Chains A and B, each alone.
Chain A
């Protein structure tokens, strides 16, 4: 019974996604065929065909998957390190008032600065190579994850903490069995936002200075007046961003079954 409903839900979800995508492509096609836009906008069929052709035909020195890998590698390193540091620091800040009092004012000043604003300085400090990109991705991820880990560590339900205390639990036990699990959903939403920010950041920094990566594809397309190349770059960014977000949701669903199941 449950399984059947679940199946139907999936059919509806996937079905409507396919219909929406098809409608979008038709609109896109119609615009290119029936309006003057066709001169600057290749149609969907042409774009997708080019996308796959580029798996073997290189842009510059590398084929499309290599460019994807260049961008992804930059994210992977900056994102992983930033997440680890931010989760630990966020939880410490959420738990100890002193850490909160010291770090919070700094954080409040840095947080409103969009990470792209740091690009020129990053290049000055870390050069035009990958080091500056790691730094920028680190920054974008860090800000988003720290904020959420902090909120999560402070979200522990006082009723549950009281219940554990009544059962004789000490501070360490309460931290492990209540504070941390309460923080997990917050941390995941931070990781999710952080991933989006990191992805945006890497593309932006590649568009300013780089010799490979999906951001580079777009900028090189602009330099060569190659609209198709720009579109392929955008399509690639969209697809990878989607896959990253979806896999993160997958991991979350596995780790936080209690928030998703039965809802």
Chain B
């Protein structure tokens, strides 16, 4: 029981009369890489917002390490669907932003920043401003900022939704590398089934609104994965079958 990082218990969320999340329960193990897939508008973003207390659940609860979430105590990082770099800060300053909030000593900030900037390959762009960077580099900055704080839990809301395929594959591989290296618990949201099958250890499949859990599925594929392999396509089709929201 101790290795449960996140426990979601009978989570229900209504907006007025609109029932979005309907009595959802599941657990996320420490170090798990979970993908949540479901149709657009089914409440994926709402679910993350409940975890971070941006929204108050209508009923049910979410526990982190056995306690209700507290952002000051639990080290949770959230990567939004929208790009969220600060345009007036350089790459380096953006990456350091979370550490400054947490009032880490300068020496430690510098060390962590150097480390993650290298991990995401932005060394050459340290002193650039976001307006000088491409979309994929911006998203790397955001990821570096999230990892710099050494989060226990990383929440990602369709982070690569606006990137083209090639860049997406590249960043997905980077993310898998970071996850393996740091053992962070990741909850990754997407409506792209291929992406979910490619990166995840487990896949949580949601239904249409009012949303319940269709299935929690362990990803049977070993790594490295190749999207064109027969086995990969089989799994992808299996997940597609389960979702079938169209």
Contacts and interface: CB of A to CB of B under 8 A. Distances in A.
Interface string A151-192: 000000001101111111100010001100100100000000
A159 B80 contact: yes
**Chain B binding surface SS class:** loop
A258 B72 CA distance: 31
B100 to A, nearest CB: 8
B71 A184 contact: no
A151 B76 CA distance: 32
A13 interface: no
A160 B86 contact: yes
B26 interface: no
Give the most central of A167, A256, A257, A263: most B CB within 10 Å: A167
B84 interface: yes
Nearest to B54: A162
Contact of B129 (A160, A165, A167, A258): A258
Interface in B42-71: 52, 54, 71
Contact of B97 (A159, A164, A184, A261): A164
Contacts of A159: 80, 82-84
Contacts of B78: 162-163, 166
A259 interface: yes
Interface in A230-259: 256-259
B240 interface: no
Nearest to A261: B129
B97 to A, nearest CB: 7
B71 A168 contact: yes
Contacts of A169: 101
Contacts of B84: 159-160, 162-163
Give the most central of A163, A184, A261: most B CB within 10 Å: A163
B192 to A, nearest CB: 21
B212 interface: no
B245 interface: no
Contacts of A165: 54, 71
A262 interface: yes
A262 B76 contact: no
Given A177-B97, A178-B86, A258 B130 contact: yes
Contacts of B200: none
A210 B130 CA distance: 51
A115 B86 CA distance: 38
A167 B77 contact: yes
Nearest to B89: A258
Contacts of A258: 87-89, 129-131
Contacts of A256: 88
A61 B120 CA distance: 69
A226 B33 CA distance: 84
Given A166-B76, A166-B78, A258-B130, 7 more contacts: A159-B84, A162-B78, A166-B52, A168-B98, A168-B101, A259-B88, A262-B128
User: Nearest 9 pairs between A and B by C-beta?
Assistant: A262-B132, A163-B84, A166-B78, A167-B98, A181-B88, A258-B129, A258-B88, A169-B101, A159-B82
30 contacts: A159-B82, A159-B84, A162-B54, A162-B78, A162-B80, A162-B84, A163-B78, A163-B84, A165-B54, A165-B71, A166-B52, A166-B71, A166-B78, A167-B77, A167-B101, A167-B149, A168-B72, A168-B102, A177-B97, A184-B88, A256-B88, A257-B129, A258-B89, A259-B87, A259-B131, A261-B129, A262-B129, A262-B131, A262-B132, A263-B131
Interface of B: 52, 54, 71-72, 76-78, 80, 82-84, 86-89, 97-98, 100-102, 128-132, 145, 149
